């Protein structure tokens, strides 16, 4: 079975400041890792994903996440946030084989303050 833990339910941060959203997972099998973003009144959209290879992955809008196998973590970071980054962010895992289950964390609400 898999589980995902996002310890921070809300993260307020000032514009242009750095931010880190934490994600830890538990799984008895190999998994792929994902970050999704949800803007108000919308569905979730893929932000970035780790499948294999380099442990550091980046999105087109400046976010990055690093896969740490020993710590079973996949934290999301951005060096300088914008007001438009205000949204809810979800970490997710999916097994690399077998079932195609997709498990999400409880989400972290990022609020960027002017």
Partner 1 sequence: DAGVIQSPRHEVTEMGQEVTLRCKPISGHNSLFWYRQTMMRGLELLIYFNNNVPIDDSGMPEDRFSAKMPNASFSTLKIQPSEPRDSAVYFCASRWTGVNTGELFFGEGSRLTVL
**Residue numbers at the binding site for partner 1 (CB under 8 A):** 32, 34, 36, 41-46, 49, 51, 90, 92, 94-97, 99-107
Q: Which is nearer to partner 1, 46 or 113 (CB)?
A: 46
What is the token pair recorded at 41? 């009144």
Q: Which is nearer to partner 1, 33 or 81 (CB)?
A: 33
Read off φ and ψ for residue 107, nearest 5 degrees. Answer: 95, 150
Q: CB of 102: closest distance to partner 1 in angstroms?
A: 6
CA 82 from centre of chain: 17
Q: Which is nearer to partner 1, 1 or 114 (CB)?
A: 1
Give CA separation, 92 vs 24, 47, 113, in Å.
Answer: 10, 11, 26
């Amino acid at each position: 079975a898999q589980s995902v833990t996002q310890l921070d339910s809300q993260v307020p941060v000032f514009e242009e400041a750095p931010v880190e959203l934490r994600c830890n997972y538990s799984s008895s099998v190999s998994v792929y890792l994902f970050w999704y973003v949800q803007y108000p009144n919308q569905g979730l959209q893929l932000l970035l994903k780790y499948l294999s290879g380099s442990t550091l992955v980046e999105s087109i809008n400046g976010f990055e996440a690093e896969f740490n196998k020993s710590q079973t973590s996949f934290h999301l970071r951005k060096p300088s946030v914008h007001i438009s980054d205000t949204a809810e962010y979800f970490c997710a895992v999916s097994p690399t084989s077998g079932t195609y289950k997709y498990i999400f964390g409880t989400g972290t609400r990022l609020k960027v303050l002017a």
